[in-house]
A = this chain, B = another copy of it.
Amino acid sequence: MVKSGHFFAALPENGAEEAIEPLAQWPGVRIERIVSRGQASPPGFWYDQDGTEWVILLAGSAALLFEGESAPRVLRPGDYVEIPPHARHRVEWTDADAPTIWLAVHSKSTD
């Protein structure tokens, strides 16, 4: 069966948390849509992931801070980053006025 969908459809309502929805998954890979509405990482929190993440911002805007970099990277639609395993990073801000929509491709660790 060929599964299909529309990436920008059925955006979740405002919520306290980012909305993470799986779009596809197969051995070694997980593809997600993430919708942010002004959320940011909590103070002092850093993502530290075992696998590679490739993420592209497709609507809205956001700033990602990587540990050791002097300033956050501001992302606009079309901007992508490849985040190596254990590259510590945090979301400094996401657009407060419009949904920020990310497409994330995660490698899954094989454990």
Chain A residues proximal to chain B, CB less than 8 Å: 1-9, 23-24, 26-29, 31, 52, 54, 56, 58, 66, 73, 78-84, 87, 89, 103, 105, 107
A84/B27 in contact, CB under 8 A:
no
Cα of A3 to Cα of B84 in the assembled complex, Å: 9
**Nearest 8 interchain pairs by C-beta:** A28-B28, A7-B78, A3-B82, A4-B81, A8-B78, A24-B54, A24-B82, A26-B52
Known contacts: A29-B28, A31-B105, A105-B29. The answer to whether A6 contacts B66 by CB under 8 A is: no
User: Out of B58, B66, B80, which one reaches A23, CB within 8 Å?
Assistant: B80
Instruction: Report A45 CB to chain B, min CB distance, Å.
Output: 18
